[in-house]
Amino acid sequence: MRFWRVFESNARAVRCGLLAVICAAPACIAMSQPCPSPEKIPANFAEDAAFAAQIRSVFISQSQPAGIDSAGTTVLHHLLHQLPEDTPSFGWELRIARDAGNMFASPDGTIYVDQALSQFLGARPGLWAAALSHEIVHVLRRDWARRYLLQRALDTERGTQLVLGDTTTAGTWVDGRQSSAWQASCNQIMELEADAQSLFLMARAGFHPDFAPALHHALAAQPLQLKPELADSSHPTWDQRDEKLTKLLAAAGEEFDRLWPNRDASPGGNPPILVYAGAPSVRRHHEQDAELTIPLNCQNLAGSVEVVLRWKEMADPAGHIQRQFTGCTSKRTLVTFTLPTSAISGRHAHAEGDVSILDDRGVLLTRAVARIPIR
Regarding beta strands 364-373 and 350-358, do their DSSP bridges make them parallel or antiparallel, or are they unpaired?
Answer: antiparallel
pLDDT tens track for 241-253: 888 888 899 999 9
Spell 245-284 as b/e; 16+ CB within 10 A means b: beebbebbbebbeeebeeeeebbbbebbbbbbbeebebee
Contact in structure between 264 and 270 (CB atoms under 8 Å): yes
Domains of the chain, by residue range, sit at 2-164+171-265, 274-373
Confidence of residue 319 (pLDDT cuts 50, 70, 90): low
pLDDT number for residue 286: 59
Compute the distance between CA of residue 278 and CA of residue 296 in angstroms, rounded to an integer. 6
Contact in structure between 137 and 193 (CB atoms under 8 Å): yes
Contact in structure between 195 and 5 (CB atoms under 8 Å): no
**Which pairs from 227-233 meet CB under 8 Å and 24+ separation?**
227/102, 228/101, 228/102, 229/102, 233/184, 233/188
Q: Which of 31, 35, 92, 36 is nearest to 66 (CA)?
A: 92
Is 80 exceeded by the pLDDT of residue 337?
A: yes
How far is it between the farthest Cα atoms of the chain?
76
Least confident of 151-160, 188-197, 291-300, 302-311: 151-160
Q: Which of 353, 265, 347, 373 is nearest to 312 (CA)?
A: 353
| Mean pLDDT computed over 208-234 | 73
Confidence of residue 281 (pLDDT cuts 50, 70, 90): confident
Confidence of residue 361 (pLDDT cuts 50, 70, 90): very high
Confidence of residue 320 (pLDDT cuts 50, 70, 90): confident
pLDDT tens track for 42-81: 888 888 888 999 999 988 889 999 989 999 999 999 999 9
Is 90 exceeded by the pLDDT of residue 221?
A: no
Q: Which of 310, 16, 4, 262 is nearest to 136 (CA)?
A: 4
Other Cβ atoms less than 10 A from the Cβ of 232: the count is 10
pLDDT number for residue 24: 32
Integer CA distances (angstroms), 63 to 57, 76, 98, in order: 11, 18, 6
Compute the distance between CA of residue 174 and CA of residue 172 in angstroms, rounded to an integer. 7
| Mean pLDDT computed over 166-195 | 67
CATH 2.60.40.2550 applies to domain 274-373: yes
pLDDT number for residue 46: 86
**Residue scoring higher pLDDT (284 or 285):** 284
| Mean pLDDT computed over 195-218 | 96
Residues 6+ apart with CB under 8 A from 106: 51, 52, 55, 56, 112, 139, 144
Is 90 exceeded by the pLDDT of residue 30?
A: no
Regarding beta strands 281-285 and 274-277, do their DSSP bridges make them parallel or antiparallel, or are they unpaired?
Answer: unpaired
Is 60 exceeded by the pLDDT of residue 161?
A: no
| Mean pLDDT computed over 204-214 | 97
DSSP state, residue 133: H
Find the helix packing angle between 211-220 and 238-259, rounded to 10°. Answer: 150
| Mean pLDDT computed over 225-229 | 43
